[in-house]
């Protein structure tokens, strides 16, 4: 496991740190990549979902009599056709694979129709009649928490709750010289992946099942399919197809889609494809949790923050899915990346009769970071201290302790990221000299972020990763891992790590899409853990291969007449010593001739972490990544429209394995966070989603993108592959907070909900002007 350290210290790196060409670039640009819906199997049928028409119903009966008249109709599938368990195994196991007696949200799958064509399946599904009785329902998470509210989950409608207690926050708040308190809310965010959900279940002789799925978590799919069919794991194989975007939206729910396809395939004994259209993807698949929070900070006159009190509520929707995991991350980060001695955080994920919420890039953090960073700016105004200076005075540095009492070790560059964006954006000058162009005014806002890399203490039982590295006789290298490529560049970064460790030519490396039969359960592809976990697993698998290859290379060089006293160097597929050279391909051929073992497995588990459920204290993550953002925006006071002008963002994510991909991750995350902050407004009325499409649900596009200024501050992490940490989630998290602060700096109003819609800005400005007149 020290190969990365050795190369960082002693050798010039061949591939790590270089912007090598993406492995899948040409395949995607030329349209050669095969996504799930591109696959066709002999005798394949098509399934379509029959969905609940109301927010909550009691199911009295299901009839397919009219559907049967559609040409090509094959069968109707209901919960009675499930041969295994009825509940989807995920966290709390409260979500039924198919409804039996009750449906809890509009759009929930009640049954499935199977037909010879997709058109026939969808036509027949519309004709299936559900006999039902409407039931009372809940849509407001705060009302759901009330003692006298309707109970739709357990005795209190609470899926999960966490408390973080450090010091005496209430007493410290009373003693504080300055206090600020406010309430904030955020709406849903739709994942917006280009490829909708799709799975193909293929039954095979011997009661076997193979599923081809667009997914970022093949092992979740493996769990669900084995459970719903009631068969052993060794009889189920999940193959990840090229995945057209995920962002968390293909973490949990692909398991449900795949299970539905598998039930249909078993009943018909034929391959079955289930693919969603955009509307049903909207109304039934997971979203970023809506949130509500009450946040208070107390500080001394000199700007030292002394206390923080937070109540944080997430709207989990009808079923828990990943809400406990999302809530926990939000809770442990809720106080912000600051040194605060007294903290009290109460966090709840509650049930409503709406689409279940799940993981979305940054899961659980962006909502509360919007609140905390907005209020930190309000605190700076009350203290009459520059917002940047207030943060620099209080941010975490090595040796400081987080809200959970964890001591920050090395690899902490938060202060450096703040200083970097301050200088690069010309903050000191611009913040004092705001531009005004008639009715258009400009402003700047800052946010600071820290992000626990990986699954942390509450998810450590899943925080593992496997790899199998096989060097063929022609010196080509095949790498199997358990974490997925979903557009972020994992195939490329992991290829760089394998090539670096083996000193193989980069072109020789092929990292495959995940096949659950080829590598052990490696947990989910989430939480910015792929580079860290799969990268380390590849290094562990490659280490014994490297020893054999390097030993053989030295032996071959000595036979060529090189002096044994000289040091051998390895660079970009060549081995050199004493003026003699030998290639990786030649060395591998000799290893095969000597019958050396040329395939190895690697297994990596995350370092030990802790969390005390009673007080929320512990070393909750093994390492953190850090980020600072400065947003420059223009506000049109006549219309309320906010135009992002420039985003200056700095990141400490350890060693940058591929600068071009890292910059792409940053730009994509910034735009996605900006889109949530300004445009994305999913509307519910009486339990019904009103805008389940990309016409009425507005996303940022390339015309909306601001100028980007990206900075990397490399604080190496000794336990990371070539000292890397994780980046994928980080760029999105602080964008709403920075933009909200920039709007306030520009025109003096605080918008306390996401998205920051023009009508809200306009209304606040008009009210502000009226108050001035009075």
Q: How confident is the model at residue 771 (pLDDT cuts 50, 70, 90)?
A: low
According to the 3-state scheme, what is the secondary structure of 416-427?
HHHHHHHHHCCH
459 secondary structure, DSSP code: G
pLDDT of residue 576: 96
592-615 pLDDT, tens digit each: 999 999 999 999 999 999 999 999
- What number of other Cβ atoms are within 10 A of residue 129's Cβ? 13
**Backbone torsions φ then ψ of 333, nearest 5 degrees:** -100, 0
pLDDT at 566: 78
d(CA 729, CA 736): 14
> Given this model, what pLDDT does residue 432 score?
85
CATH topology (fold) of 464-605: Aldehyde Oxidoreductase; domain 4 (3.30.365)
Give the integer Cα–Cα distance in Å for 390 and 30: 50
| 2 has pLDDT over 60 | no
Residue with tokens 């700096």: 745
Residue 716 CA to residue 743 CA, distance in Å, equals: 35
Q: How far is CA 746 from CA 343, 431, 632, 710, 742, in A?
A: 32, 10, 9, 23, 6
Amino acid 774: pLDDT: 54
Closest CA to 660 of 606, 719, 584, 712: 712
Question: Would you say residue 1 has pLDDT above 50?
Answer: no
On the question of pLDDT at 412 being above 60, the answer is yes
pTM: predicted TM-score of the whole model, two decimal places: 0.96
Using DSSP bridges, classify how beta strands 305-317 and 342-351 pair: parallel, antiparallel or unpaired. parallel
Angle at which helices 365-383 and 735-747 cross, to 10°: 30
pLDDT value at residue 772: 66
| pLDDT exceeds 90 at position 7 | no
Average pLDDT, the chain: 96
> Around 459, how many Cα atoms within 13 Å sit in the side-chain half-sphere?
27
pLDDT at 164: 98
Thinking of the domain 291-457+612-773, which architecture would CATH place it in?
2-Layer Sandwich (3.30)
Q: What is the structure's pLDDT at 773? A: 58
Direct distance between the N- and C-terminal alpha carbons of the chain, in angstroms, rounded to an integer: 70
The CA-CA-CA angle for residues 428, 432, 438, to 5°, reads: 135
242-275 pLDDT per residue, tens:
999 999 999 999 999 999 999 999 999 999 999 9
Specify the DSSP element, H or E, that contains 651. Answer: strand 642-652
User: How confident is the model over 332-343, as pLDDT tens digits?
Assistant: 999 999 999 999
Whole-angstrom distance, CA of residue 537 vs CA of residue 543: 10
Distance of CA 63 to CAs 131, 592, 725, Å? 8, 64, 54
Question: In sequence order, which residues have a C-beta less than 8 Å from that of residue 487 and are 6 or more positions away?
Answer: 243, 244, 245, 246
Render pLDDT for 510-538 as a digit per residue (tens, 0 to 9). 999 999 999 999 999 998 999 999 999 99
Across 695-711, average pLDDT:
96
Q: Would the pLDDT of 105 be above 80?
A: yes
Among candidates 372, 336, 421, which has minimal Cα distance to 628?
421
Q: What distances in angstroms separate CA 501 from CA 339, 484, 577, one per listed residue?
A: 39, 20, 19
| Architecture category of domain 36-136+191-284 in CATH | 2-Layer Sandwich (3.30)
pLDDT at 440 over 60: yes
Start-end ranges of CATH 3.30.365.10 in the chain?
36-136+191-284, 291-457+612-773, 464-605
pLDDT at 162: 98
The answer to whether residue 64 scores a pLDDT higher than 70 is: yes
User: Is pLDDT above 90 for 556?
Assistant: yes
How far is residue 247 CA from its own chain's centroid? 5
Q: Is the pLDDT of residue 5 over 60?
A: no
Q: What is the pLDDT of residues 67-77, one digit of tens each?
A: 999 999 999 99
Q: Which residue has the higher pLDDT, 6 or 138?
A: 138
Predicted pLDDT at 565? 72
**Res. 620 pLDDT band, cuts 50 70 90:** very high
pLDDT tens sequence across 636-692: 999 999 999 999 999 999 999 999 999 999 999 999 999 999 999 999 999 999 999
Instruction: Write the CA distances from 107 to 356, 564, 687, integer angstroms.
Output: 11, 72, 10
Residue 269 — left, alpha, or beta (φ > 0 → left; ψ -120 to 50 → alpha)? left
- Confidence band for 8, pLDDT divided at 50, 70 and 90: very low
The alpha carbon torsion through 79, 84, 89, 92 (nearest 10 deg) reads 70
* Average pLDDT estimate for 50-62: 98
pLDDT number for residue 3: 34
Best CA proximity match to 712, nearest among 305, 413, 392:
413
The strand pair at 236-240 and 208-213 is best described as parallel
What is the edge-to-edge ordering of all strands in the sheet holding 57-63? 102-103, 57-63, 129-134
Give, in order, the Cα–Cα distances in Å from 33 to each of 242, 258, 279: 7, 21, 25
């Amino acid at each position: 496991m020290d190969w990365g350290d050795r190369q960082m210290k002693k050798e010039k790196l061949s591939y790590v740190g270089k912007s090598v060409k993406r492995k899948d670039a040409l395949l995607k640009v030329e349209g050669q990549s095969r996504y799930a819906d591109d696959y066709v199997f002999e005798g394949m049928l098509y399934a379509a979902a029959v969905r609940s028409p109301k927010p909550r119903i009691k199911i009295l009966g299901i009839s397919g009599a009219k559907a049967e008249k559609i040409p090509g109709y094959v069968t109707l599938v209901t919960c009675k056709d499930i041969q295994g368990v009825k509940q989807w195994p995920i966290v709390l196991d409260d979500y039924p694979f198919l409804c039996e007696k009750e449906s809890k949200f509009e759009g929930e799958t009640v049954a499935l129709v199977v037909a010879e064509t997709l058109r026939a399946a969808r036509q027949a599904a519309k004709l299936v009649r559900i006999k039902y009785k409407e039931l009372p329902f809940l849509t407001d998470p705060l009302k759901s928490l009330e003692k006298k509210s309707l109970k739709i989950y357990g005795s209190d409608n609470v899926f999960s709750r966490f408390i973080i207690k450090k010091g005496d926050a209430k007493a410290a708040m009373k003693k504080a010289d300055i206090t600020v308190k406010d309430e904030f809310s955020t709406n849903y965010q739709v994942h917006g992946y280009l490829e909708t959900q799709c799975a193909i279940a293929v039954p095979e002789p011997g009661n076997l099942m193979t599923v081809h799925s667009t997914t970022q978590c093949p092992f979740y799919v493996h769990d669900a399919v084995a459970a719903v069919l009631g068969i052993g794991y060794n009889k189920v194989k999940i193959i990840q197809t090229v995945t057209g975007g995920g962002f968390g939206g293909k973490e949990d729910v692909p398991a449900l889609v795949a299970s539905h396809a598998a039930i249909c395939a078993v009943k018909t004994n034929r391959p079955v494809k289930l693919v969603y259209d955009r509307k049903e993807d909207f109304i039934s698949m997971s979203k970023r949790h809506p949130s509500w929070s009450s946040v208070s900070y107390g500080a001394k006159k000199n700007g030292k923050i002394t206390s923080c009190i937070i109540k944080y509520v997430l709207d989990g929707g009808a079923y828990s899915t990943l809400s406990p995991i999302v809530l926990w991350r939000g809770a442990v980060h809720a106080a912000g990346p600051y040194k605060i001695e007294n903290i009290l955080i109460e966090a709840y994920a509650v049930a409503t009769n709406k689409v279940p919420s799940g993981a979305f890039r940054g899961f659980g953090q962006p909502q509360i970071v919007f609140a905390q960073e907005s209020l930190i700016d309000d605190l700076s105004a009350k203290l009459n201290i520059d917002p940047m200076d207030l943060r620099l005075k209080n941010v975490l540095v090595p040796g400081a302790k987080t809200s959970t009492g964890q001591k920050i070790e090395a690899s902490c560059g938060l202060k450096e990221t703040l200083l970097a964006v301050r200088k690069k954006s010309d903050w000191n000058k611009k913040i004092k000299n705001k531009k005004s162009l008639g009715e258009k005014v400009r402003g700047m806002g800052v946010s600071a972020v820290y992000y626990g890399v990986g699954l942390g203490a509450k998810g450590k039982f899943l925080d593992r990763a496997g790899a199998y590295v096989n060097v063929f006789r022609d010196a080509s290298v095949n790498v199997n891992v358990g974490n997925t490529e979903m557009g972020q560049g994992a195939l490329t970064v992991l290829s760089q790590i394998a090539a670096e460790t083996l000193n193989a030519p980069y072109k020789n490396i092929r990292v495959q899409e995940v096949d659950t039969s080829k590598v052990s359960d490696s947990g989910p592809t989430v939480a910015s853990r792929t580079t860290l976990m799969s990268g380390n697993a590849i290094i562990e698998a490659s280490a014994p291969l490297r020893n054999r290859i390097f030993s053989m290379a030295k032996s071959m060089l000595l036979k060529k007449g090189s002096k044994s006293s000289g040091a051998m160097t390895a660079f970009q597929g060549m081995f050199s010593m004493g003026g003699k050279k030998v290639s990786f391909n030649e060395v591998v051929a000799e290893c095969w001739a000597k019958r050396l073992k040329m395939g190895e497995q690697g297994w990596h588990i995350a370092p030990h972490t802790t969390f005390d459920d009673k007080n929320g204290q512990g070393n909750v993550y093994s390492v953190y990544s850090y980020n600072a953002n400065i947003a420059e925006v223009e506000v049109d006071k006549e219309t309320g429209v906010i135009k992002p002008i420039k985003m200056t963002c700095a990141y400490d994510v350890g060693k940058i394995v591929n600068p071009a991909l890292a910059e792409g991750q940053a730009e994509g995350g910034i735009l996605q966070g900006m889109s949530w902050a300004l445009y994305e407004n999913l509307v519910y009325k009486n339990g019904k989603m009103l805008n389940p499409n990309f016409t009425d649900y507005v996303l940022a596009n390339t015309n909306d993108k601001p100028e980007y200024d990206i900075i990397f501050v490399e604080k190496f992490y000794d336990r990371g592959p070539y000292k890397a940490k994780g980046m994928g989630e980080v760029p999105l998290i602080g964008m709403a907070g920075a933009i909200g602060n920039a709007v306030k700096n520009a025109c003096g109003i605080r918008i306390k909900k996401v998205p920051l819609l023009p009508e809200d800005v306009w209304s606040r400005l008009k009210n502000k002007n009226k108050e001035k007149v009075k």
